Structure 1
């Protein structure tokens, strides 16, 4: 992996249960790790559903290998949110991850 391609700062988040000041359980997105990555849009489409026009963008995010990343997490980049659909350990070498994502539009 060429380091020059990792020019985007992303934050990986996980949905976790925490406690508020009253002791009640609250579920919220919690930052797990902030890393450098490359972001490459792959495809986009618009579709009509329930009298609404929706947009969907498929994106590939590449980063150095991180242990414990899974599809129930999401990626933040600036003000954009990407839902992780799959996590690929490139060539099974534990050097690089490809996160196949869907952008929430």
Structure 2
């Protein structure tokens, strides 16, 4: 793995439940892990749904393996990069060699 290609900072956020002052349970995204990644496989894709243009851009984020990265699952985590939010669709562990992990993501609709 060429470390020089890890030149874009991303933040992996975790979905957690917090309780406010009056006991309401709220879903909140908290920063879980910050690292540098290689971004590849960007495929801009727009479609029209009910007269609205929908951005379905997909991107792959490749990061170095570590214990924190091995805990990431598609259900509870998302990637925040360049003021955009990406939902994790799948995780590729690169043959389980514990060198790198590829996060296959799609831009979230807001």
TM-score norm. by structure 1 comes to 0.91
- Check conservation: 2:55, 2:107, Cα contact below 8 A: no
Matched, 1:8 2:8: yes
> Which residue of structure 2 lines up, in the alignment, with residue 48 of structure 1?
48
| SS at 2:73 equivalent | coil
> Which residue of structure 1 lines up, in the alignment, with residue 86 of structure 2?
82
- Check conservation: 2:64, 2:101, Cα contact below 8 A: yes
Matched, 1:102 2:94: no
Tell me the C-alpha RMSD between the 2 structures: 1.4
Q: Which runs of 5+ in 2 are unaligned?
A: none
Per the TM alignment, residue 83 of structure 1 is displaced from its structure 2 partner at its CA by: 0.8
Matched, 1:31 2:46: no
| SS at 1:48 equivalent | strand
Q: Which runs of 5+ in 1 are unaligned?
A: none
Matched, 1:71 2:74: yes
TM-score norm. by structure 2 comes to 0.87
